[in-house]
Amino acid sequence: MAMTYQIDIANKSFKDEGGNQHTIISELSITLTAGEFVTLLGPSGAGKSTLLNIVAGLDTDYQGKVKLTLPYAQPARVALMFQEPRLMPWLTICDNVMLVCEGASSQRRSNALYWLQQVGLSGAEHQYPAQLSGGMLKRAALARAFACEPDILLMDEPFSSLDVPAADSLRHLLTQLWQARKTTVVYVTHDISEATTLSDRILLLSSQPMQIMEDVSLTTQRPRNPLDSELFTLSQRFKKSLADPA
């Protein structure tokens, strides 16, 4: 039986400056199967990033429970890749990746260089973030995310700031890395084409208070073409649902 992780959020709310209560997430339950690529697809401002912060343990002010444990009650290792690369500007690219690696210094450096090679940044290890293009910074952030060997990788619209060719290239790279390691991925986007291209499973989310409108499994073989008839039909359905959630 495949290992699963459980996310149950009964309520996540906040008060505005006027003291008014706003519910962001209500009665949300998600079961993740280890190794699957799950995308949270929903409108901007729905609370997707808030949900990732809860799963990552960065936000504990909610009602509910997140169970991310491995066999023998070992806690799952979780990595979070943000919209911005969030690299330390005073460290080289190699040193930035080494921050999340374990072991002796030589082992950490070897691991960092391996992951930089995997994302196509061999030769850039001595450069600083300010010396790299936007696409290269995203590759460095992706290398760092995988270098910590996460059981679960949370990704918050990581390629949204890139132009189309650069974003497509990184989606292809992400798919290759994920297929080779089968890390559980939870990916946030409001881009329907991106969701259908990457995912094993798409959770279509409503606006606040965020709830699941659809839970769809995709069987189309990779690499995928967004214009594939099955994916195109699904995309049109999602567009209609997001435009008219009622």
Tell me if 229 is assigned to some domain.
Answer: yes
pLDDT at 141 (0 to 100)? 97
Which tokens in the block code for residue 119? 């994302």
Q: What is the pLDDT along the chain (246 residues), one digit of tens a residue?
A: 678 999 999 999 988 777 788 899 999 999 999 999 999 999 888 899 999 999 999 999 999 999 988 776 688 899 999 999 999 999 999 999 999 998 888 999 999 999 999 999 999 999 999 999 999 999 999 999 999 999 999 999 999 889 999 999 999 999 999 999 999 999 999 999 999 999 999 999 988 889 999 999 998 888 888 788 889 999 999 998 887 765
pLDDT at 223 (0 to 100)? 86
CB contact at 8 A, 135 and 169: yes
Name the nearest CA neighbour of 140 among 103, 183, 102, 95: 95
Q: Considering Cα of 199, then 201, then 207, then 208, what sign does the dihedral take? A: negative
Tell me if 35 is assigned to some domain.
Answer: yes
Tell me if 233 is assigned to some domain.
Answer: yes
Tell me if 140 is assigned to some domain.
Answer: no
| CB neighbourhood size of 106 (10 A) | 8
Tell me if 173 is assigned to some domain.
Answer: no
Residue 80: strand, helix, or coil: strand
Cα torsion 143, 149, 152, 155 to 10°: value is -10
Return the residue matching tokens 């943000």. 82
Half-sphere exposure (CA, 13 Å, Cβ side) for 122?
6
Which CATH number characterizes residue 231's domain? 3.40.50.300
204 secondary structure, DSSP code: E
Domain range for 199 is 1-10+23-74+190-246
Which tokens in the block code for residue 64? 């509910």
Tell me if 62 is assigned to some domain.
Answer: yes
Looking at the structure of the chain, the number of domains it has is 1
Tell me if 200 is assigned to some domain.
Answer: yes
